[in-house]
Structure 1
Amino acid sequence: MKKTLLTTAMIMALGITGVAGAAPATNPYGLVYNGAITQNVKGQVNIHPVHYTLHGVKIAANVYTPANYDKNKSYPAIVVAHPNGGVKEQVAGLYAQSLAEKGYITIAADAAFQGASGGEPRHLDVPYYRTEDIHGMIDFISKYPGVDANRIGALGICGGGGYTLNAAKSDKRLKAVATLSMFNSGRVRRNGYMDTQLDSIQERLAAATQARADEIATGKVSYAGTVDFDALTDESIAKITTDLYREGMDYYGRSHRHPNSTFTYTQSSLMELMTWDATDHIDLINAPLLMIAGEKADSRYMTEDAFKKATGTNKKELYIIPEATHIKTYYIPEYVNKALDKLGDFYKANIK
């Protein structure tokens, strides 16, 4: 398999939000966020690792149940989609656990071909499958003991936010849709982060096409986005000019590092990514919509663009967290709590 090692300058250009390589997590469930469950205690929020099959691929997920969960009662549920490069044990798990503390049954699953989920080739990153991951979480959680299938909502974080918007266009089982620090993977892979690569779209599409042709001819898969975090230094990280990628390097590579978290993806995936956009037909979303972004996030433009185009719902809100950047909404308590308070009010009002 051919792999490409990116420099920090290339990281900013290509829109990478995750990293390769990590030390093993010490939490018994692999969770790496602060306040994570370390054991299931009766009467408290519990975590339940589960597996299910989606289109022939084994999916690994965690289900969180509220305190004093009783399978004979009726609960609303939330599906949580993780960021590009992320896994269920990081920010998706934090928000899933926190929403369970508010009384919801929640699920966070690793995307097919990524994390602890199955699928070959590894690190395939195609919008169709990432969208199906969300439909699949809904399929599974709707049959979970105690879940009211008529009261299901969604939360998509970063790249998972863009794919959640895509899923919500057609999946009317979702009664409320929310995103946090939404990242439109198609737009960034096509145009570059902050639309800085508009002059090289055709060349990059040609390279992706060649990668696919090589896969067919030789069976060898080419990868992009591979980052050797062990080789990065404080100085090299500090030189990254955008908050998303600079702070992302610290989050994914240091403070919340996980062995399954990598933003390596197949080069041929760009054929699909670059011709897709989270905002295409976004007017088909008619469920209540909440979009959350940090005031100082340099990714904020993607949330604002999607929010403006989401004209199909008569109940939508754009919530800006003061002072927050993209990555800081993942783990800084001040910003996480603000997001969770807003999410709690939103779901309570719209998942009757």
Structure 2
Amino acid sequence: MKNITSIIAVAMTTIATDTVQAQYHQKAQQNPYSLVYDGAITSNIKGEVNIHPVSYKLNGIDIAANVYTPANYDASRKYPAIVVAHPNGGVKEQTAGLYGQRLAEAGYITLVADASCQGGSGGEPRHTDKPQYRTEDIKGMADFITHYPGVDSDRLGALGICGGGGYTLKAAQSDKRLKAVATLSMFNSGEVRRNGFQNAQVNTVEERLQQATKARAQEVAGGKIIYAGVASIADEEIEKTSTDLYREGLMYYYRTHAHPNSTFLYTMSSLMDLMTWDATDQIELLNQPLLMIAGSKADSKYMTDEAFRKATNAKKKELFLLDGATHIETYWKPEYVKSAVAKLVNFYQENL
């Protein structure tokens, strides 16, 4: 059986966009906002939750985002707001958009943005996945949404999903505009890129750093960009994948919730930054209320447990488990989404 770590570590010199396009989920083709989650908005109706595609500049890069406004939104009123950071490989049209819409249904103005160099946002090289960029993206979301009509800038919360959860923990250490911080299925990108998922690659750290270094040297010399990850995958390879996170993740991103802007690729040179970074480094600076949600059966849960334990100065911190859920099931499965949203709404109501 081929181990998923060997699949994810494959270096690629080209991106097989044709394959992803061929698997473009029918929901995205039919939805005017290319949203691929169940129950997604198809049109803006007066008196209901509406979606507003927006763009803004962040460090010279055009950021593509969606703002969700509550039913009967009135710009003259003041609403609490939530910024939602998407998973690694994800885009705003997938689970981050689902949670953005559900929170808007509960009365919040929400902002879901594609990361710099990813999704519909600008920036080169494409698929750059540097933690400092992702952290800055969250601060940029705070910059934008606090000036959106109707937003009460003193009641701003954050939700980070998967890799976006790790980056949200980091952003909240210094950005105190984020008054209440929540994560869902938190993924510590630095720890996993460094040690491998479930610490399966701890013996090859130096070797992989050498690969990343050579990739950067090739980039700056004008050569082809080297990519890590997978641009496409056959059904039989998905079935052989041993870990729930990656097997179900490949199904989610390349089959059931596929979107042409979503990919499992990242530049090999990004590993130079990722492998020397950790979401829990200086986490004691996070002193806001903290809610961390994870599936009880998630094979990624160890990262949530570790961060929760280390967040010693977080106020009213709580770990909430979705009984029976795996990591990816928290992205879409109705009963788990419903439970997670109810917990999030209660958390934000108490702390914003």
Aligned-partner Cα distance in 2 for 1:99–1:33: 15
Identify the range of structure 1 (77-86 vs 249-258) with the bigger mean alpha-carbon deviation: 249-258
Task: Please tell me whether the aligned partners of residues 4 and 243 of structure 2 are also in contact (alpha carbons under 8 angstroms).
Answer: no
Q: Residue 299 of structure 1 aligns to which amino acid in structure 2?
A: S
Q: Residue 204 of structure 1 aligns to which amino acid in structure 2?
A: R
Higher relative contact order (CA 8 A, sep 6+): 1
Q: Which among 40, 45, 49 is matched to residue 45 of structure 1? A: 49
Q: Which among 3, 7, 12 is matched to residue 11 of structure 1? A: 7
* CA drift at 1:222: 1.2
Report the equivalent of 2:13. none
Q: Which among 115, 122, 125 is matched to residue 119 of structure 2? A: 115
Q: Residue 194 of structure 2 aligns to which amino acid in structure 1?
A: R
Q: Which among 200, 203, 206 is matched to residue 207 of structure 2? A: 203
Aligned-partner Cα distance in 1 for 2:5–2:291: 33
Aligned-partner Cα distance in 2 for 1:265–1:314: 35
**DSSP 3-state at the match of 1:98:** helix
Q: Residue 67 of structure 1 aligns to which amino acid in structure 2?
A: A
Deviation track 1:106-148 (CA, whole Å, cap 9, x = no partner) reads: 0000000000000011111101110000000000000000000
Report the equivalent of 1:278. 279
Task: Please tell me whether the aligned partners of residues 70 and 105 of structure 2 are also in contact (alpha carbons under 8 angstroms).
Answer: yes
* CA drift at 1:236: 2.5
Structure 1 unpaired stretches of 5+ = 1-5
Task: Please tell me whether the aligned partners of residues 45 and 101 of structure 1 are also in contact (alpha carbons under 8 angstroms).
Answer: yes
Q: Residue 285 of structure 2 aligns to which amino acid in structure 1?
A: L
* CA drift at 1:80: 0.1
Deviation track 1:162-213 (CA, whole Å, cap 9, x = no partner) reads: 0000000000001100000000000000000000101000000011001111
**DSSP 3-state at the match of 2:214:** helix
Q: Is residue 2:57 matched to residue 1:61?
A: no
Report the equivalent of 2:295. 294
Q: Which among 19, 34, 39 is matched to residue 30 of structure 1? A: 34
Q: Residue 176 of structure 1 aligns to which amino acid in structure 2?
A: A
Q: Residue 268 of structure 1 aligns to which amino acid in structure 2?
A: S
Report the equivalent of 1:340. 341
* CA drift at 1:224: 1.2
Q: Which among 172, 175, 182 is matched to residue 171 of structure 1? A: 175
Task: Please tell me whether the aligned partners of residues 13 and 197 of structure 1 are also in contact (alpha carbons under 8 angstroms).
Answer: no
Task: Please tell me whether the aligned partners of residues 92 and 157 of structure 1 are also in contact (alpha carbons under 8 angstroms).
Answer: yes
Aligned-partner Cα distance in 2 for 1:253–1:186: 24
* CA drift at 1:8: 5.0
Q: Residue 309 of structure 1 aligns to which amino acid in structure 2?
A: K
Aligned-partner Cα distance in 1 for 2:214–2:165: 30
TM-score after normalising by structure 1: 0.94
**DSSP 3-state at the match of 1:226:** coil
Report the equivalent of 1:3. none
Q: Is residue 2:310 matched to residue 1:309?
A: yes
* CA drift at 1:263: 1.8
Report the equivalent of 2:81. 77
Task: Please tell me whether the aligned partners of residues 13 and 192 of structure 1 are also in contact (alpha carbons under 8 angstroms).
Answer: no
**Once the two structures are aligned, what percentage of the paired residues are identical?**
66
Q: Which among 97, 100, 119 is matched to residue 96 of structure 1? A: 100
Report the equivalent of 1:264. 265
* CA drift at 1:7: 8.5
Task: Please tell me whether the aligned partners of residues 9 and 240 of structure 1 are also in contact (alpha carbons under 8 angstroms).
Answer: no
Report the equivalent of 1:252. 253
* CA drift at 1:12: 5.8
CA RMSD of aligned residues (A): 1.5
Q: Residue 293 of structure 1 aligns to which amino acid in structure 2?
A: A
Report the equivalent of 1:350. 351
Deviation track 1:15-68 (CA, whole Å, cap 9, x = no partner) reads: xxxx96142622100100000000000000000000000000000000000000
Task: Please tell me whether the aligned partners of residues 3 and 241 of structure 2 are also in contact (alpha carbons under 8 angstroms).
Answer: no
* CA drift at 1:13: 6.4
**DSSP 3-state at the match of 1:49:** strand
Q: Residue 270 of structure 1 aligns to which amino acid in structure 2?
A: L
Q: Residue 331 of structure 2 aligns to which amino acid in structure 1?
A: Y
